[in-house]
Amino acid sequence: MDTETQGLITKMVNAMERMAKSEFAELPLSNLPFEISFPLEDDNPDQAQSVCEGLQLGLSKVFRPSPVSAIIQGAHYKVRIDR
């Protein structure tokens, strides 16, 4: 994985961490997961898959032991973080 892709993954993980923690703090008694969908930034399927795997790994480290999933669906990334 190149440095540019790694930097992109780090920025995305940090942004999603802030959004998820904010949402979890606003609704502390809810069991609803944090879910987000956003368009692929790159048409290169290999890079998109690397980004997806990096997101899942990075967010799993932050939100351990909560289940985290990151998938590519159509032309979008879909991320889900359970509580």
Average pLDDT in the 69-82 region? 96
What are 76's strand-pairing partners?
39, 73
Note the helical H segments in 1-83: 3-26, 45-63
Phi-psi region of 74 (alpha: psi -120 to 50; beta: other; left: phi over 0): left
pTM above 0.85, yes or no: yes
What are 1's strand-pairing partners?
none
Q: Is the pLDDT of residue 44 over 90?
A: no
pLDDT in tens, 46-73: 889 999 999 999 999 999 999 999 999 9
Which runs of E-coded beta strand occur in 1-83? 34-39, 68-73, 76-81
pLDDT at residue number 56? 97
- Which of 44, 46, 39 is closest to 12 using CA atoms? 39
